[in-house]
């Protein structure tokens, strides 16, 4: 594997919405890799709250003041194909709990089978973010609950705007 492949990582997900847990993993990946691409998966089978372009905009806004120059992109199809297009040899996956490991290890093995030049690196989320999930954020916010401690400010603003409610925080 070339140096370029080793120094570029893709952190992919639906990020619907982007949470403090996602931000934590992104920042920590930036300390390990020279280039980190936060890749929004376009999965038409999912009923997403935010469109792909909205998620790209939100993540870009959340990362604009970071010292690491993160890139934000979207992709369709197989993640390993996107990695190849981006000359990335590493997939970043965040783990919150042991329960995440079984699914994530299956995905890592499958991706390795599809392209042996792409490695998966698991990063454990920080303890403060270990309970956060996008689906939980969506559910809490749909009932007008306070999600301000779970998402970056730029996400909170977009959630409020999208739902037309100031009762989220």
20, part of any domain: yes
Range of the domain at 100: 3-128
Catalytic-labelled residue, pool 14, 74, 134, 141: 134
pTM above 0.85, yes or no: yes
73-92 mean pLDDT: 97
Active-site residue 134, yes or no? yes
Which domain CATH number covers 12?
A: 3.40.50.620
DSSP 121-148: EEEEPPGGGTT--HHHHHHHHHTT---T
139-165 mean pLDDT: 89
C-alpha 14/C-alpha 8 separation (Å) is 20
Active-site residue 46, yes or no? yes
Q: What is the pLDDT of residues 101-116, one digit of tens each?
A: 999 999 999 999 999 9
Count of structural domains within the chain: 1
């Amino acid at each position: 594997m070339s140096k370029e492949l080793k120094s570029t990582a893709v952190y992919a997900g639906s990020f619907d919405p982007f949470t403090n847990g996602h931000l934590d993993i992104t920042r920590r990946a930036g300390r390990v890799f020279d280039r980190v691409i936060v890749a929004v998966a376009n999965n038409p089978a999912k009923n997403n709250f935010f469109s792909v372009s909205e998620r790209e905009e939100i993540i870009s806004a959340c990362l604009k003041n970071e010292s690491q120059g993160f890139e934000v992109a979207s992709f369709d199809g197989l993640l390993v194909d996107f990695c190849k297009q981006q000359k990335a040899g590493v997939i970043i996956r965040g783990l919150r709990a042991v329960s995440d490991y079984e699914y994530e290890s299956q995905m890592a093995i499958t991706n390795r089978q599809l392209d042996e030049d792409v490695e998966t690196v698991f990063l454990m989320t920080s303890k403060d973010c270990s309970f956060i999930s996008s689906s939980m954020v969506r559910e809490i916010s749909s009932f007008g609950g306070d999600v301000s401690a779970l998402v970056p400010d730029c996400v909170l603003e977009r959630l409020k705007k999208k739902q037309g409610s100031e009762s989220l925080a």
